[in-house]
Amino acid sequence: MTGAGQRNAWAIRNNGIMAHSQSPQSMGKDQDFPISLEVQLLGGLGQGKRTTANLCTPGTNVVIDGALVRAHCINSSSQTYDGDQWVRAEAMVLGDSLVKHIVNGDTVMTYFRPQMGGGNANNLMPGVMIEGKLLADGYIALQAETAPIDFRKVELLDLTGCMDPSAATYKRYYIRPDPAECR
């Protein structure tokens, strides 16, 4: 954003993937962010360390190292990616139990028990926020918050399926059984 000034420096090269997002129908007319877990995608600025695949938590809290974390944004352990380059960002979301942020094959953040709570999602419809409710599912939203971004490829992998190793449709990565899928 040319001319944005120092006050808006946070916005430069700032986008994201919103996982476990609330549905568009459940959002308030003037709601700023969906209740979700943001895998914050930050591009380097050529001026030192700036991690990517951070976690921002509009309307959510998570558990890290056994403690409920209410901070809005938590930096990952990723390296900085300066300039324009392809960076592979993945979110492994196992329902309401485990979430991992992975960048170029390296796990850079792990947290547990994503749940509703906290701030940073304003103008919610009444009754939508249920403090402490675990987030077991939801929508995925691609966020172009303030800067141009290209998503080269978006893939989803359903982790529900046939967990019988003797079936032709078995996949070792399934974590939730669906016996109807076994053939």
Query: What is the 3 state secondary structure string of 103-166?
Result: ECCEEEEEEEEEEECCCCCCCCCCCCCCCCCECCCCEEEEECCCCCCCCCCCCCCCCEECCCCC
Joined together, the tokens standing for residue 48 give 């030192």
Would you give per-residue pLDDT tens digits along the chain (183 residues)? Answer: 566 567 777 788 899 999 999 999 999 999 999 999 999 999 998 989 999 999 999 999 999 999 999 999 999 999 999 999 999 999 999 989 999 999 999 999 999 999 999 889 999 999 999 999 999 999 999 998 877 888 999 999 988 999 999 999 999 999 889 999 999
Helix (H) or strand (E) holding 18: strand 14-21
* Ranges for all domains in the chain classified under CATH 2.60.120: 6-152
> What's the topology of domain 6-152?
Jelly Rolls (2.60.120)
Q: What is the pLDDT of residue 2?
A: 60
Distance CA 175, CA 86 (A): 30
Q: What is the pTM of this model?
A: 0.89
Helix (H) or strand (E) holding 172: none
Distance CA 75, CA 38 (A): 12
